[in-house]
Amino acid sequence: MSLSTLFTGLYVIVTRRKIITHVLGYLIIENGVFILSLAVGNEMPLLVNLGILLDIFASVLLLGIFVNKIGDEMKDMDVGLLTSLKD
């Protein structure tokens, strides 16, 4: 199960061109590593620590992408301007 998740994420990264699908592929790989670390957690505690480190790295990467995208869309970082947004 975990190996198929890893290979699916790798396939998504290799076959797609848009950056958002690359991020999704990376998240799929990260989930595969997490599942693998749950399966072999007792025998290999280093793999569990690497899975947690990968999870933190993915969170920081996505947060950076979202903050950068928000900065591109809204030139002023004033939170008061967000109240004027409507659907």
> For residue range 78-87, what is the model confidence (pLDDT) as tens digits?
656 667 666 5
CB 37 within 8 A of CB 48: yes
Alpha carbons 63 and 38: distance in angstroms, whole number: 25
For 17-71, what is each residue's pLDDT tens digit?
A: 877 788 788 888 888 877 877 777 677 777 777 777 877 888 788 778 877 776 7
In angstroms, the Cα distances linking 7 to 31, 35, 46, 79, 84 are 11, 13, 22, 41, 44
**Contact criterion met (CB below 8 Å) for 33 and 50:** yes
Domain boundaries, the chain: 2-84
